[in-house]
Structure 1
Amino acid sequence: MANTLLGERGILGVFVMLPMQVSAEDFPTFITGLRALKNFGGAVVSMPHKIATANLIDELTPEARLVGAVNVIRRNGDGCLIGTMLDGEGFVSGLVAAGHCVKGARILLVGAGGAASAIAFALAKHGCASLCIQNRTLDRASALSERVRHAYPHLEVSTAIQATSHYDIAVNGTSLGMKADDDLPISKSFIGCCDLIADCVIAPEMTKLLQEAANQGKAIQTGVPMLAAQMALMLAFMGAE
């Protein structure tokens, strides 16, 4: 997607995006190496490195500082690495472009990692009526809820699902769905309590969660619009204009 945009702008070759697979164990060393790579302009950071990146680079934008995670970095000429977070705005932009409304919506968010955190703050910023955050580790869900509540004190934020709960939008902000044998992040029975099921997983585009939701006649949103909405912003941040 990035290289297609660079080609359309006539600057593919001046800039090119390459995939780099790095283990969590080697990630700090990898970041150190990027400082020394003089023809490195920037990088898009994916799971599971978004939170770690925020603690390894030199400077964070206000958005990244609020979320505590980074999904794109750039290298200045002096080797300084600066990071921002665009997952949240990208997710909301993708929803709006598809004709869905965040303002006034009751939303369930599954996950409390870097992407989920960014989405939580963006949903609050864009005026959702309530936000329920679920995570396999309750402490992380509670911590994210407190941070969102502190930034948006008038928003109804919780970590508890009631028996009568109904949500306009349910969001998978976890990596569940990337592997064929992953559990569903939202149970089959609870999908029926949600009008729209949105996933942040990009590959496969049609996850088991979305397929199940479609089978139940629910509206769905894949993870691709979130990335597409961000890509031009990411390239601009990295200096590829």
Structure 2
Amino acid sequence: MLASITGNTKILGVIADPVSQARTPAMANRLLDERGRLGDFVMLPMQVSAEDFPAFITGLRALKNFGGAVVSMPHKAVAAHLADELTPKARLVGAVNVIRRNGDGRLIGTKLDGEGFVAGLAGAGYSVKDAHILLVGAGGAASAIAFALAKHGCASLCIQNRTPDRVSALSERVRHAYPQLEVTTAIHETSHYDIAINATSLGMKPNDELPIANPLIRHCDLVAECVIAPEMTPLLQEASGQGKVIHTGVPMLAAQMHLMLAFMGAE
């Protein structure tokens, strides 16, 4: 690999804090190698604090051999405000998870979590079409997933989060974009869900509470994660113990990787 890195190599990044758990660099570089593009591009981890993130983004505009970056927690929402231009999808969601640098130094942001999540499910044989879905979370990833679920024809969507205002705001935005979709924020004793999704960061740390309570898991057929590391989160362990079908967060990242590299010009 080192021999293939030259003065012409375009640098791609994964910007997060922390970043040590990120699988994206290894997956991206493996894919670039398979395509014969490793050396033309290389992806590196970039640990940047929230405090330093605005200055870092300014610096990227000046870095002429910077091609783009995957933007991860906690920077997704702020990156949408700092980018010079957003795709329609990113404007709808209000966050970005990929940026690219144009030749003139302008940074363009888009959001691919939602399409990646749906594609990851489809690759495992599960469709969201006509499904009744519980989505836990109201941040950037959850927002992207909510709009993607609606776009791909889910029958109903119940959104839950610890912050009621964020749930209300997200549900209203989804209803406005997809008025035919039943969007709720309340869980009833008789509620049943074909798919339950954790789109929060809960599960990344060993002592995190379960994002979906034990009794509610019993009302879900398939339990899916967005957390990638650890791959087998406490939520998935609990759901598996209850005999539920589980789906890890890794397929979402794998499905997104092709889309991310294409957006950054590393096809």
Question: Which TM-score tier does this pair reach, normalised by the shorter chain?
Answer: over 0.9
Task: Kindly state the Cα deviation for residue 9 of structure 1 after the two structures are TM-superposed.
Answer: 1.1
1:232 pairs with one of 252, 258, 267: 258
Aligned counterpart, 1:194: 220
1:51 is aligned to 2:57: no
1:109 pairs with one of 135, 142, 155: 135
Deviations 1:175-221 (A, max 9, x none): 00011111110011111010000000011111000011001100000
Aligned counterpart, 1:28: 54
1:16 pairs with one of 26, 42, 48: 42
Distance 1:91 1:181 in 2: 25
Counterpart residue identity of residue 253, structure 2: L
Task: Kindly state the Cα deviation for residue 31 of structure 1 after the two structures are TM-superposed.
Answer: 0.7
1:170 is aligned to 2:196: yes
The count of residues paired between Structure 1 and Structure 2 equals 241
Task: Kindly state the Cα deviation for residue 164 of structure 1 after the two structures are TM-superposed.
Answer: 1.1
Counterpart residue identity of residue 237, structure 1: F
Task: Kindly state the Cα deviation for residue 25 of structure 1 after the two structures are TM-superposed.
Answer: 1.2
> Which stretch shows the higher mean deviation, 7-16 or 106-115?
7-16
Aligned counterpart, 1:215: 241
Deviations 1:40-61 (A, max 9, x none): 0000011121111100010001
Counterpart residue identity of residue 207, structure 2: D
SS at match of 1:2: helix
Task: Kindly state the Cα deviation for residue 13 of structure 1 after the two structures are TM-superposed.
Answer: 1.5
In structure 1, runs of 5+ residues without a counterpart are none
Distance 1:47 1:134 in 2: 20
Aligned counterpart, 2:232: 206
Task: Kindly state the Cα deviation for residue 11 of structure 1 after the two structures are TM-superposed.
Answer: 1.5
| Structure 1 residue runs of 4 or more that deviate by more than 2 Å after TM superposition | none
Equivalent positions of 1:120-199 (< 5 A) are 120-199=146-225
Distance 2:91 2:128 in 1: 23
Counterpart residue identity of residue 151, structure 2: K
Task: Kindly state the Cα deviation for residue 22 of structure 1 after the two structures are TM-superposed.
Answer: 1.1
Counterpart residue identity of residue 167, structure 1: Y
1:65 is aligned to 2:71: no
Deviations 1:1-22 (A, max 9, x none): 0000011111212210000111
1:7 is aligned to 2:36: no
Task: Kindly state the Cα deviation for residue 101 of structure 1 after the two structures are TM-superposed.
Answer: 1.6
SS at match of 1:132: strand
2:68 pairs with one of 37, 42, 55: 42
SS at match of 1:210: helix
Aligned counterpart, 2:114: 88
What TM-score results when the alignment is normalised by the length of structure 2? 0.89
Counterpart residue identity of residue 239, structure 2: A
1:75 is aligned to 2:101: yes
Task: Kindly state the Cα deviation for residue 140 of structure 1 after the two structures are TM-superposed.
Answer: 0.1
CA RMSD of aligned residues (A): 0.6
Counterpart residue identity of residue 37, structure 2: I
Task: Kindly state the Cα deviation for residue 104 of structure 1 after the two structures are TM-superposed.
Answer: 0.6
| Amino-acid identity (%) | 81
Distance 2:103 2:252 in 1: 30
